């Protein structure tokens, strides 16, 4: 029994009852299905099998060491977005040549770290950053492999907060400027321009903008070739969305069918940086009902022991996550707001949700929470971060223990 599904009425993860895991480890709790991560990684890898490619898993989606290690064991590389993520990648066993380093505001320290390690590529965000990389590399008498991140000014048609490919966004270099910058930078002793990079947004469910951006990047690669700057790869970033509400979304095969015709024939190696698509459906956030409150003439609130500190996506992006009782429920149907315990009215995980009326102590599951969930958790209201469990081959293993107040205070004078 693989993935997160109902077995005999109750939700299970790779065959293990979620209620058993919650009884043992407490709530709030993240639980991940290894089989889902494996099958989703392989689906993308196989869809692109006809073209030379590498998948650099975007650590930002979920960088818990055991998750990163699992992806490495499948043959993934890593996409790191900070010095911290580079460290995590190394500790997860990735070698520097398997790491690409992206990020809109890399510090001198982070660039030096990446150059000293000799990461596969630094995806550079601006001419100024290229200057800084060149200076750091020359000082070390080495050459840094760089790709230029371009901003194609294409709307990814996702949520504005996770769209990154418009010229009103802070990311990348405008298409019209890339060729000139490459010509100016090509002779620099500290730089080896090896690629072009883009990432136009996350939770993309319309593949047309991605295909148009890919065409722009491949065209630019050809023009650079004409200028005598031979690059070896294009990195089309991540972004493939998932279905949070059950509506149809493009599959890995659709994704490949949209992108492969654009890169095939270019002779360029293809790099992708998928995150959400691999890990989001593999994760569930478990939480217990701590109170039920009916405001007279107002709403019915189901108050959980998890909120925006464990999963900020609903508050940050108005994101929708299905919320279901873990055990088959038979109470009368009702409509409620599912909220967290924090001192913020926006601490809401789901609004106007029809569901059987839960009771205090019931275990609830927030689905598709494996990406941008635990990694975005915070300690607001002095709430310790939740534990994380990975279920693999029928065994549920704690991969990150629950934080304690002592852990939190250990940093303080
Ligand atoms: C540069 C870059 N690559 C990859 C990703 C991963 O995106 P996703 O999780 O949507 O696949 C992101 C996420 O924002 C990103 O900024």
The answer to whether 183 and 224 are in contact (CB under 8 A) is no
How many angstroms is it from 20 CA to the middle of ligand 1?
34
Contact 259, 211 (CB under 8 A): yes
Q: 13, 182, 336, 343: which is the annotated catalytic residue?
A: 343
CATH class in words for 4-32+280-409? mainly beta
C-beta of residue 224 within 8 angstroms of C-beta of residue 189:
no
- CATH 3.20.20.10 domain span(s) along the chain: 35-279
Ligand 1 atom at minimum distance from 149 CA: 1
Strand partners, 149: 197
Q: What's the confidence (pLDDT) of residue 162?
A: 62
Number of the ligand 1 atom closest to the C-alpha atom of 123: 1
* Among 61, 196, 235, 243, residue to substitute to test ligand 1 (most atoms within 8 Å of Cβ): 61
Q: For the purposes of burial, counting CB atoms within 10 Å of the CB of 373, is it exposed (0-12), middle (13-18) or buried (19 or more)?
A: buried
Which residue lies with its CA nearest to atom 4 of ligand 1?
Answer: 238
Q: Is the pTM of this model over 0.85?
A: yes
Task: Pick the atom of ligand 1 nearest to 239's CA.
Answer: 10
Give the pLDDT score at 156: 74
* Ligand 1 environment, Cβ below 6 A: 58, 60-61, 79, 102, 199, 202, 237-240, 273-277, 371
Decide: 32 and 370 in contact? Cβ < 8 Å.
yes
Segment-wise mean pLDDT, segments of 10 residues, the chain, 413 residues: 90 98 98 98 98 98 98 98 98 98 96 98 97 98 97 78 73 90 95 96 95 96 95 97 97 98 95 98 98 91 98 96 94 94 94 96 98 98 98 97 97 95
Cα–Cα distance measured from residue 234 to residue 103, given in angstroms and rounded to the nearest whole number: 17
CA of 275 to the centre of ligand 1 (A): 6
How many A from CA of 202 to the centre of ligand 1?
6
- Tokens read off for 159: 């949520």
- Which residues are CB-contacts of 84 (< 8 A; sequence separation ≥ 6)? none
d(CA 127, CA 261): 31
**Nearest one of 73, 115, 114 to 94, comparing CA atoms:** 73
Three-state DSSP at 279 gives helix
Judge whether 343 counts as a catalytic residue.
yes
Dist. CA 370 → ligand 1 center (Å): 14
Ligand 1 atom closest to Cα of 204?
10
Tokens 């998928």 appear where? 274
The torsion angles phi and psi of 8, rounded to 5 degrees, stand at 60, 35
Cite the residue boundaries of each domain of the chain with CATH code 2.40.37.10: 4-32+280-409
Q: In the beta sheet, which residues pair with residue 122?
A: 101, 146
Q: Whose CA is nearest to atom 12 of ligand 1?
A: 238
Question: What is the secondary structure of 55-122 as a DSSP string?
Answer: EEEEGGG---HHHHHHHHHTT-EEEE-SHHHHHHHHHTT--GGGEEE--TT--HHHHHHHHHHT-SEE
pLDDT of residue 316: 94
Q: What is the CATH number of domain 35-279?
A: 3.20.20.10
Going from the Cα of 145 to the center of ligand 1, the distance in angstroms, rounded, reads: 21
Which residue has its alpha carbon closest to ligand 1 atom 13? 202
């Amino acid at each position: 029994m693989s993935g997160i599904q109902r077995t005999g009425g109750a939700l299970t993860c790779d065959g293990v009852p979620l209620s058993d895991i919650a009884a043992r480890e407490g709530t709030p709790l993240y639980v991940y299905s290894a089989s889902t991560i494996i099958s989703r990684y392989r689906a993308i890898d196989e869809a692109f099998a006809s073209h030379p490619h590498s998948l650099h898993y975007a650590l930002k989606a979920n960088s818990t060491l055991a998750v990163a290690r699992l992806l490495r064991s499948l043959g993934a590389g890593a996409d790191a977005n900070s010095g911290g993520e580079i460290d995590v990648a190394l500790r997860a066993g990735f070698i520097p040549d398997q790491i690409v380093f992206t990020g809109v505001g890399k510090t001198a320290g982070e660039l030096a770290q990446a150059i000293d390690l000799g990461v596969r590529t630094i995806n550079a965000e601006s001419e100024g950053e290229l200057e800084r990389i060149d200076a750091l590399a020359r000082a070390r008498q080495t050459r840094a492999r760089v790709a230029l991140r371009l901003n194609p000014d294409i709307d990814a048609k996702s949520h504005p907060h996770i769209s990154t490919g418009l010229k009103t966004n802070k990311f990348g270099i405008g298409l019209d400027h890339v060729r000139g910058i490459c010509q100016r930078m090509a002779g620099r002793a500290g730089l080896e321009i090896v690629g072009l990079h883009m990432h136009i947004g996350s939770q993309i469910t319309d593949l047309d903008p991605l295909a148009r951006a890919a065409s722009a990047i491949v065209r630019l690669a050809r023009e650079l070739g004409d200028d005598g700057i031979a690059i070896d790869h294009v990195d089309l970033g991540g972004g493939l969305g998932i279905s949070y509400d059950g509506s149809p979304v493009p599959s890995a095969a659709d994704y490949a069918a949209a992108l492969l015709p654009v890169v095939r024939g270019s002779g360029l190696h293809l790099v992708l940086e998928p995150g959400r698509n691999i890990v989001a459906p593999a994760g569930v956030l478990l939480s217990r009902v701590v109170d039920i409150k009916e405001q007279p003439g107002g709403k019915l609130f189901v108050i959980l022991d998890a909120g925006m500190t464990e999963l900020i996506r609903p508050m940050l992006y108005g994101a929708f996550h299905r919320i279901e009782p873990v055990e088959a429920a038979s109470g009368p149907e009702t409509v409620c707001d599912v909220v967290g315990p924090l001192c913020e009215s926006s601490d809401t995980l789901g609004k106007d949700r029809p569901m059987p009326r839960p009771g205090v102590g019931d275990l609830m599951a927030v689905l598709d929470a494996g990406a941008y969930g635990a990694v975005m958790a915070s300690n607001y209201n002095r709430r310790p971060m939740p534990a994380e469990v990975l279920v693999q081959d029928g065994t549920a293993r704690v991969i990150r223990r629950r934080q304690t107040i002592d852990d939190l205070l250990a940093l303080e004078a």
